[in-house]
Chains A and B, each alone.
Chain A
Amino acid sequence: MKRHLKEWFTAYTLLAPSFIGLATFIIWPMIYSGYLSFMKWDFLTEPRFVGLRNYEKLFNDDVLRLVLWNTAVYSVAVVFITLILALGLAVLINRDLKFRAALRAIFFLPVVTTLVAVSGLWLFIYTPDFGLMSYILRLFGSSGQAWLNQPNAALWAIIIMMVWQGLGYDMIILLSGLQNIREDLYEAAMIDGAGHWALFWNITLPLLSPTLVFLLIVSIIQAFRVFDPVYIMSGGTGGPANSTATLVFYLYKQAFTNQDAGYASAIAYLIVGIAVILTTIQLTLSKRWVTYQ
């Protein structure tokens, strides 16, 4: 018994530093956020209990509806376009190639480039008269336009940039998934006379499904939290006309521009709710769709 107590004591001592950190800056904040979401608070005066009013506001806020729509469009577009392009690249690069390492490094470069630097660079690329994008578009006969100033184009400008940025990440994960598929499966199918497309649809895609479902959900949850590029590309406004404002950006605005800590906390819990729903979908899907070797 005494030896047990000593082992327990040692284990708790080893855990203490990280536990104190996590408890103070993750667990306690989660509880405190929940409490704040029932309050009206401006960070200065005493918090005042308002019941469910912040949550009612979630349903009646027209800007929030637009923000949710923007976030959904952004997330779905970025995630699917990136995934499809990355799948193509991963399949192509998964063979004996010269320059394979160099190609992989190039595709991965944007992943490790500071997002603020990426945003600054693309701000320059999207500059109307002398930017790279308008130059390329004019080569194809289109007229160069100030995409970031147009409510119907600004979000798509950010989407294109983020596809470029995230491509290498998806590619690396898919590549490691592809390398787990046994080569003899392909050989057997080739003996049976299967062509390239048949191999892709009947072996590669089904056996890659765990990786694909995993990437899909992780990326959507990640995309729902987008903030940096929106802040930089819109000059901190979420404009033009709120067309690039996303959930986290809106939370930030409510908390630090409107000083409405209660409503911002309710939005935070909305984000948690969405993350929980997406994770549940992932768990269900990976049971139903996924094919194992």
Chain B
Amino acid sequence: MKRSTSRLETFLVYAVLGAAAFIVFLPYVWMILAAFKTPEEIFVYPPQWLPAVWRWQNFVDAWGKAPFGRFFINSIIVSVSIVVIQVTTSTLAAYAFAFFKFPGKNILFILYLSIMMVPTQVTLIPNFVTLKNLNLLNTFGALIVPFLASGFGTFLIRQQFLTIPTDLIDAAHIDGASTLRILWSVLIPLSRPTLATFALLSAMWHWNDFFWPLIVTSSTEMRTMPLGLAVFTQGEAGTEWHLLMAAAIFTALPIILLFLFAQKQFVQGIANSGLKG
């Protein structure tokens, strides 16, 4: 913005934004500091902001209080599998929608688009029943299989494919490249940022998902991080707030780190698609 601004105005802008950022960030400070305190320090009023000793041990204790190691591995297996499978199936479908002519193309595309609007709750009971009939409840299958495909991913990748000049594909055809060869060596290399954006958003949604694991898992060994943390909040830890805050930190941290490293992809993905998880 090139509009001229007075010094007072600049000061006010900084003051308001600074205050807002302080308010938004304060809960994180509160969480981090509490995660290092002793229980006694937490129950003090008025609050004592800094712990006398920084107790890293809290993280070890919290990690051992519930089988978080197991939950962590489960979460990694589930989100990585979903991301890999969704990127693959969406890319293949996007390829068909962007560069092939076939009967029913428009109807199918509208179908894929409208699927994005379906509230997941409508599919809840039938999917639960399907997985029960397949004997998959309380297995990795139940956590992964319902998310094999993504209407959103197909749409996002198709939009990217359409920006690629068809000349490139025709040229590859003339050189005798096969259908999959063209996808692999022409389209995918040109679409890396879009694929990365979709992979990040999908990873975030499925790492953070709580509702679905709550419904299809019943044993402790099958819980994912958010579900493990939720059970931790409800009782296993009682009011051991220092441990709860430590557990909240290591549950949220992987996606926060991913975000900090790939901010641009996250922000652009969300700004372009306007989609919430």
Contacts and interface: CB of A to CB of B under 8 A. Distances in A.
Given A14-B92, A130-B45, A214-B274, A22 B149 contact: yes
B13 A97 contact: yes
Nearest to B26: A132
Contacts, number: 278
A291 B129 CA distance: 47
Interface in A210-258: 214-215, 218-219, 221-222, 225, 227-228, 231-232, 235-236, 248, 251-252, 255-256
A172 B270 contact: yes
Contact of B93 (A18, A186, A265): A18
A26 interface: yes
Interface stretch (A54-62, A66-74, A105-113): A105-113
Given A124-B31, A272-B119, A43 B252 contact: no
Given A15-B108, A26-B118, A176 B123 contact: no
Interface string A122-161: 1111010110100100000000000000000000000000
Interface string B31-72: 100100000001111110000000000000000000000000
B119 A225 contact: yes
B148 interface: yes
A244 to B, nearest CB: 15
A124 B244 contact: yes
A45 interface: no
B110 interface: no
Given A107-B24, A173-B270, A227 B211 contact: yes
Interface in A3-24: 4, 7-8, 10-12, 14-15, 17-22, 24
Contacts of B197: none
Interface residues of B, number: 101
A122 B122 contact: no
A215 B126 contact: no
A120 B1 contact: no
Given A30-B122, A105-B263, A173-B270, A130 B95 contact: no
Interface string B116-129: 01111111111111
B100 A95 contact: no
Contacts of B26: 132
A83 B199 CA distance: 28
A209 interface: no
Contact of B122 (A173, A222, A271): A271
A272 B122 CA distance: 7
B125 A264 contact: yes
User: Most chain-A CB neighbours within 10 Å: which of B25, B270, B275?
Assistant: B270
Contact of A121 (B31, B43, B128, B263): B31
A279 interface: yes
Nearest to B214: A231
Contacts of A281: none
Contacts of B123: 25-26, 29-30, 33
B108 A21 contact: no
User: Most chain-A CB neighbours within 10 Å: which of B118, B121, B210?
Assistant: B121
A118 B211 CA distance: 15
User: Most chain-B CB neighbours within 10 Å: which of A4, A11, A12, A218?
Assistant: A11
Given A22-B115, A29-B123, A121-B31, A112 B100 contact: no
A95 B2 CA distance: 8
A169 B215 CA distance: 28
Nearest to A17: B89
A290 interface: no
B129 A43 contact: yes
A75 B111 CA distance: 28
B145 interface: yes
Interface in B119-151: 119-130, 145-151
B102 A11 contact: yes
A92 interface: yes
A121 B251 CA distance: 12
Contacts of A26: 115, 118, 123, 151
Interface string B172-211: 0000000100000000000000000000000010011011
A200 interface: no
User: Most chain-B CB neighbours within 10 Å: which of A120, A125, A167?
Assistant: A120
A251 B148 contact: no
B157 to A, nearest CB: 11
- The 6 A-B pairs of least Cβ separation, nearest first, read A21-B149, A21-B148, A29-B126, A18-B149, A29-B123, A11-B100
Interface of A: 4, 7-8, 10-12, 14-15, 17-22, 24-30, 32-33, 36, 43, 89, 92-97, 101, 103-125, 127, 129-130, 132, 135, 164, 167-169, 172-173, 175-176, 183, 186-187, 190, 214-215, 218-219, 221-222, 225, 227-228, 231-232, 235-236, 248, 251-252, 255-256, 261, 264-265, 268-269, 271-272, 275, 279
10 contacts: A18-B150, A19-B108, A19-B149, A94-B1, A107-B21, A114-B208, A114-B210, A114-B226, A125-B30, A255-B128
Given A22-B111, A112-B266, A186-B3, 5 more contacts: A17-B149, A29-B123, A112-B259, A117-B248, A235-B234
